[in-house]
């Protein structure tokens, strides 16, 4: 089980993340800097007195702050729910393998079931990305891979193949009626876990929320200089950029972590988890 | 499984949503603009000095902000709960179909059960709208549709028809006592999911909350100009309109997403989910 | 299933609610208005300069705002939990009736069980109010009502009577050991639902919270005028009244919705839900 | 089921609670009053101008406010979780008694089981206080009490005694294999409830949190006068006392309700709940 | 069951914690003090007038406050979830031991099962630290320890050994099919608990969050002096240090409690809980 490595990841983040965010936000920042600079120039050279105190930007800022917190919390909640679901995948796979190992006598279909249990996390993670990568599933053997390739929804296929083999064991009287249904319950749980992953992956925030939040941040960045310019003159430009950057960095991170099954630096270690499950299942059957 | 298409939906939202919100809120805005304009005119032409600083609008604004956050969060929680319930519908339907496929021998009632499982999501979604659309259920065949038409509460009917056919299978000794009850449990879960959807659909926020929030926003929009006018003079009008618009856009979106089973742009993709379930069930039985 | 009727309920609320709150809060308001008026008079006629800026009322206002949000959220959480529990009552009753209908052969005790399932919601709702109204239970027949009248805790009695009849069916070998226990599980769930309703009904907020919150609002309303009077002079009176009214309206609504089983306009539609369950159960057995 | 008696408890709280809090906080208040008074005296008689505006106390106040909300919410969450767990105790006990009553034939061990179920809440509540009070358990009879006295962990003992008697019924073939395990499941739930109560009782907040919060409130109360004194002069003393009192009253109430199994006025009505369970169990077996 | 000992732990915390935090944060504080001091010196000796009011630091402070609350709440939620999971470990272990004690006849494998149940908490806690400490497991006897040493994932091994012995009991017809699967369910729950602990231990916060929060606090501490210096002159240095210290103490405590299985003063009493479980299991089997 890998240890946390704070300093290393922290250093990595400082360089990769700052650069990453700066890159993503730099084009937006231009659109904020231009009107602010014009305003500063007008104010400085024409000595136009901008009669606005800070009350309107202050009010808007409070509403925006609350919307940012909402955005941040809901994104984190999804990320953490996704982590819980993957934790459930680890547990269910271990349990399933342990039970099959202890209940079924040695046979070809038993081996295939355990292989399929170990394959499910690999299949699921790529199903949530661009499609199943059969190269990861070499250990299944050609026959099973050929069967899987006939299906569109491969994770469903893995469960169907497992259940068919359990049915064979039941028909051969290797397990009782009751044991058969107990084993099937684990498949139900795997389907449940898959469904939860699909839900998190396929349901972005209500688009009105993410659209309005971005619009309001932009509007806010346009209005804010009017409230600052009398005090800060040219310093208004870095002040507005900084506040815009901080607000948008929260939005950007939220967008990344709310669908955590990809390969971005903030995503969950899905590949490592799949490999761990495979290792645990292997250890259970070889001992 | 459809991919997220951020840019496309985002562009769509910018045009459709802005227009949509502006249309919905434009009549209200008139009632805000008129008193504000009168106040500005009085202030500008009569040189009446309005002796009010920003403390009272500031205090009210803080309370309103917290109520808006509350409104937004509860609406989002319902929307997300509805999404979870629909995810549960996907899983339970897949499981039910897989189990029926693997436990029952081929027979007419088996085919009917699987058809009915595939029909349930269609029936449920229209039950939550204006009533069942039998055109979507062609695949059931005339006999089953005729049976369903005798019922008022069609989703209950679908479950009753499934359970009757399971009873036949049990009476024919095709499944054991224990298997029969395990299969029935899936029906229980479908009824549970339906109940949760009905709960979300039929329970608006306590009306005192939604009524008072709107009243307070209006009162606030009437009082706010007194605090702004000494600084902003005529700019008070757009400032008040903007803050009112932002507050009401949060209320309006909350009202839309708290009952997410309709056909508005922010509602959940209920039709697509029903179709997905139907496709999954079809794939399970044809392989 | 009744549709939401926003406009109608909204209009109703405007008149009934405003009046209702004004009536409830009017006596309190007098105790706020008198000291504020005295302060204004002293300030205006004696030209006493009250040397206090807005910092202390501002700090207190922030703490009060957070306590009000806490009060509002916990009350709403209870209301929504109560709604979930009643939704569970709908589902469990439907399931119970469906299962009894499909598992037991026709007999007198079967009919009685289904009647008792339909009676449970009526019994429960009045148990949470002032005591069971036997007039609503006419459909049970005199014999069953007489049995129920011997009990103090009538919802427990309904479950006991159901379980006794299931025991008879079991002793007559109409159902197997396993089926008997599955059916009993539904009774367990009904008892569970009843327990949750009793918990919400019998547990007010920790009294220290509700007492201190009201005290602090009152203290705040006494202190606030000192911070406002230099700016607002006589306008202090309506300003203080308005802020006090808004704060107390949140407290008052919270007190109402945290015990939602009564007959107030904000309470849950308990009677309609009970009637719906009865109708659904009737439809299940007559088809 | 006792009704809520708001006015009565409210009056009681006004006198008992205010006095109680004043007593608990009075010594602390002295340590706040002394430095504030010295500061006021220096400011007033030496005419030292304290050059500090309100920004630093304002910032600290905001952080403190958020920490107070956190403290308040987590304490309430525990209180409410404890209430839910006790509600679960009511339901599980009722169910257990109903099932034993309906499944087992009359016998001595049946009577003992039902007595032990009724005794569990009494045993549990005192286990969470100072140790079991055998005087409350007279109804068990001397023999059972003697058996219980041999154990250190008495709630575990009650469950062990129940399970042994169920084992006797099973060995006598009074109940089937399946029924035996269903009944045992209720014991598992009682143990689960006990574990949750122990968790809430034995786990205070991370001590860093409660220590730092108190320290920060004290530091805040020392710094705050510097921001207020220029405006309020001698009125600084009551202002600081009031804000300190309000902050500490939230902390004090939180400390009380986060371990709600005691006998303080804010604790849960544990004794009444135990008595209610006993009465319900009695009614079930005598009817 | 140890009592809460507030005063003692409080005193301990005052000395150990303050020192601990000061030590951890002292190097950081230097990097804050140096630029602030330079700024003060420039301001004081050159009489440069820094034209910045408090609006920008105020806005940033609000965003930071909300991020700190988010950090604090998520860390506490993990800590409390970890506590719940350990509570579940206590309950499941007690139940497992009670059931094995009551269902299996005396035999060598029964004794071994109960020993292994008592060993699981010790194995789990060290698995979450640096690896299993076999010295704590002396009571298992050499034979079992030798078997465990062959495994990499020792908690999985304990469950596998338990299940093998249950299989022996099942093959010897000491328990029925149904009882066997009920007992196995407890092992599933132990694996579930282990998985949850591993999830909390292995998943730090999204690194973007913890990195950005620290960066923003630092940026804030650099900007804040510009807003304070006109009012506070040299007092700016302690003011900035204090606010930085409070913000960083929240971050530091959050980092500690979000992985609560270690041996820090804020971590959960994992060792004591493991010992308690062992004692309870011992009491159950010796009575």
In Å, what is the CA distance from D156 to each residue of A62, D152, D187, E94? Answer: 53, 9, 10, 9
Best of D66, D103, D230, D286 to mutate (most C CBs within 10 Å, chain C): D103
* Residues of chain E contacting A10 with CB distance shorter than 8 Å: 207, 210-211
Query: Is residue B131 over pLDDT 70?
Result: yes
Q: Are residues A171 and A280 in the same domain?
A: yes
Mean pLDDT of A134-153: 86
Say whether residue A130 is in contact with chain B using an 8 A CB cutoff: no
pLDDT in tens, A267-285: 788 888 889 888 888 887 7
Environment class of D219 (CB within 10 Å of its CB; exposed 0-12, middle 13-18, buried 19+):
middle
CA atoms of A269 and E198, how far apart (whole Å): 14
C53-68 mean pLDDT: 74
Closest-CA distance, E146 to chain D, in angstroms, reads: 33
**Are D76 and C209 a contacting pair at CB < 8 A?**
yes
pLDDT given at position B47 = 65
In tens, the pLDDT along A150-205 reads 888 888 889 889 988 998 998 898 888 888 888 888 988 998 999 999 999 888 77
Under an 8 A CB cutoff, do E232 and D188 touch? no
The pLDDT of residue D10 = 43
D224-275 pLDDT tens trace: 888 777 777 788 888 888 888 888 888 888 888 888 888 776 778 888 888 9
Asked if residue B2 belongs to a domain, the reply is: no
The whole-angstrom distance between A95's CA and the closest CA on chain E is 6
pLDDT of A52: 58
Does B158 share its domain with B274?
A: yes
| C190 neighbors C122 (Cβ within 8 angstroms) | no
Give mean pLDDT, residues A9-33: 63
Which chains contact A through at least 3 pairs of Cβ atoms less than 8 Å apart?
Answer: B, E
User: Which phi-psi region, left, alpha or beta, contains residue A148 (left: φ > 0; alpha: ψ -120 to 50)?
Assistant: alpha
- Which of B110-124, B215-229, B246-260: highest mean pLDDT? B110-124
Residue A5 lies in a domain: no
Which CATH number does the domain housing residue E162 bear? Answer: 1.20.1440
Tens digit of each residue's pLDDT (9 = 90 or more) over D180-219: 888 888 988 998 999 999 999 888 777 777 778 888 888 8
Q: Looking at the 3D structure of chain B, how many domains does it have? A: 2
Q: Does residue B17 register a pLDDT over 80?
A: no
Q: What is the pLDDT of residue D89?
A: 93
Across chain A, mean pLDDT equals 81
pLDDT at B48: 62
DSSP letters of B65-134?
HHHHHHHHHHHHHHHHHHHHHHHHHHHHHHHHHHHHHHHSPS-HHHHHHHHHHHHHHHHHHHHTTTS--G
With both helix axes pointing from N to C terminus, report the angle between C207-232 and C55-103 in degrees, rounded to the nearest 10. 140
Q: Nearest residue on chain A to B260, judged by CA atoms? A: A206
Which chain E residues in 209-268 lie under 8 Å from chain A, judged by CB atoms? 209-212, 215-216, 219, 259
- What would the pLDDT profile of C147-157 be if each residue is shown by its tens digit? 888 888 888 88
CA dihedral sign of residues C234, C240, C246, C248: negative
Contact call for B160 and C4, based on CB within 8 A: no
Cβ within 8 Å, pair B52-C102: no
| pLDDT computed for residue E196 by the predictor | 92
| Whether complex ipTM tops 0.90 | no
Three-point CA angle A40, A41, A47, nearest 5° = 90
The closest CB to that of B211, out of C2, C17, C239, belongs to C17
Q: Say what the pLDDT of residue B85 is.
A: 93
Span D101-114, average pLDDT: 88
Judge contact between B84 and B247, C-beta under 8 A.
no
Question: Which residue, among C48, C50, C55, C261, would best test binding to D if mutated, counting the most D CBs under 10 Å from its CB?
Answer: C55
Comparing C-alpha atoms, which of E70, D179, C114, A207 is closest to residue B267?
A: A207
A84-122 confidence digits (pLDDT tens): 999 999 989 988 998 898 888 888 889 899 999 999 999
pLDDT band at E48 (very low <50, low <70, confident <90, very high): low
**B59 interaction partners in chain C (CB closer than 8 Å):** 61, 243
Does D21 fall in a domain?
no
Residue C71 pLDDT more than 60?
Answer: yes
Contact C84 B60 (CB under 8 A): no
Residues A47 and A94 in one domain: no
Interface check for B280 against chain A (CB to CB < 8 A): the answer is yes
Confirm whether A122 is domain-assigned.
yes
Contact criterion met (CB < 8 Å) for C287 and B151? yes
User: Is pLDDT above 70 for E21?
Assistant: no
Q: Which pLDDT band holds residue C122 (cuts at 50, 70, 90)?
A: very high
A14-33 average pLDDT score? 68
- pLDDT value for D162: 92
Q: Kindly state the percentage of chain C with pLDDT values over 90.
A: 13
CB B77 within 8 A of CB B248: no
**Are the C-beta atoms of residues A201 and A239 closer than 8 Å to each other?**
no
Which carries the bigger pLDDT value, residue E204 or residue C251?
C251
> Do B51 and B71 share a domain, yes or no?
yes
Supply E172's token pair.
Answer: 């010897």
Q: Determine, for residues E60 and A246 on separate chains, whether the beta-carbon distance falls below 8 Å.
A: yes
Place of tokens 């939860």: A196
- The reply to whether B195 falls in a domain is yes
pLDDT of residue A230: 74
Q: What is the mean pLDDT of residues E56-73?
A: 80
Most confident of A209-213, B24-28, B89-93, D213-217: B89-93
pLDDT average, residue stretch C205-218:
80
CA C252 to chain centre: 13
Residue D118, pLDDT score: 92
Question: Which range, of B126-130, B134-138, B209-213, C174-178, averages the lowest pLDDT?
Answer: B209-213
Choose the most confident range, by mean pLDDT, from B246-255, C26-35, C185-194: C185-194
Q: Quote the pLDDT of residue E213.
A: 85
pLDDT at A6: 41
Q: Give the span between the Cα atoms of A29 and A41, in whole angstroms.
A: 18
Supply the pLDDT for residue D113: 93
Same domain, B169 and B281: yes
pLDDT score recorded for residue C3? 40
Instruction: For residue C199, give every residue at least 6 positions away whose Cβ sits within 8 Å of its Cβ, in sequence order, or none.
Output: D83, D84, D86, D87, D90
Is position A242 within any domain? yes
Beta-carbon separation of B13 and A56 below 8 A? no
Tell which D residues from 176 to 215 touch C, by Cβ distance under 8 Å.
176, 178-179, 182
On whether both B32 and B157 belong to a single domain, the answer is no
* Mean pLDDT across chain E: 81
Which of E65, E91, E280 comes nearest D62 by C-beta?
E65
Q: Are residues B182 and B247 in the same domain?
A: no
Contact assessment for residue C144 and residue C115, using Cβ atoms and an 8 Å cutoff: yes
For residue C53, is it within any domain? no
Of chain E, the percentage scoring pLDDT greater than 70 comes to 86
- What share of chain A has pLDDT > 70, as a percent? 86
Task: Determine the structural domain holding residue D199 and report its residue range.
Answer: 101-203+279-286
Query: A50: pLDDT confidence band, cut at 50, 70 and 90?
Result: low
Specify the residue for token string 């490999």: A275
Residue A189 lies in a domain: yes
CA–CA dist A230, A240 (Å, integer): 14
Q: A226-240 pLDDT, tens per residue?
A: 877 777 778 888 888
Q: Are residues A45 and A146 in the same domain?
A: no
* % of chain B residues with pLDDT over 90: 14
Instruction: Find the residue in B nearest to A155 (Cα).
Output: B280
> Which partners does chain D have (≥3 C-beta pairs < 8 Å)?
C, E
Asked if D209 and E252 count as a contact pair (C-beta separation under 8 A), the reply is no
SS3 D82: helix
Give C-chain residues touching D57 at CB under 8 angstroms: 55
Supply the pLDDT for residue A7: 42
């Amino acid at each position: 089980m890998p240890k946390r490595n704070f300093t290393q990841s922290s250093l990595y983040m400082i360089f990769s993340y700052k650069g990453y965010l700066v890159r993503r936000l730099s084009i937006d920042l231009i659109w904020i800097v231009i009107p602010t600079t014009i305003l500063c120039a007008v104010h400085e050279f024409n000595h136009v007195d901008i009669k606005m105190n800070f009350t309107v930007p202050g009010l808007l800022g409070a509403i925006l702050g609350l919307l940012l917190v909402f955005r941040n919390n809901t994104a984190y909640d999804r990320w953490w729910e996704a982590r819980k679901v993957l934790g459930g995948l680890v547990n269910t796979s271990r349990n399933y393998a342990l039970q099959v190992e202890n209940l079924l006598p040695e046979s070809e279909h038993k081996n295939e079931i355990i292989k399929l249990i170990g394959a499910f996390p690999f299949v699921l993670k790529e199903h949530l990305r661009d499609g199943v990568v059969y190269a990861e599933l070499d250990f299944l053997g050609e026959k099973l891979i050929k069967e899987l390739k006939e299906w569109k929804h491969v994770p469903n296929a893995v469960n169907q193949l497992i259940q068919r083999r359990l049915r064979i064991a039941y028909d051969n009287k290797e397990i009782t009626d009751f044991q058969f249904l107990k084993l099937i319950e684990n498949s139900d749980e795997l389907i449940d876990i898959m469904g939860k992953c699909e839900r998190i992956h396929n349901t972005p925030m209500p688009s009105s929320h993410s659209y309005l939040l971005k619009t309001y941040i932009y509007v806010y960045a346009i209005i804010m200089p009017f409230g600052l310019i009398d005090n800060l003159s040219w310093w208004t430009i870095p002040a507005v950029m900084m506040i815009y950057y901080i607000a948008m960095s929260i939005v950007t991170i939220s967008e990344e972590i709310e669908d955590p099954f990809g390969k971005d630096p903030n995503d969950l270690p899905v590949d490592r988890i799949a490999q761990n499950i495979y290792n645990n299942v292997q250890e259970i059957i070889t001992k």
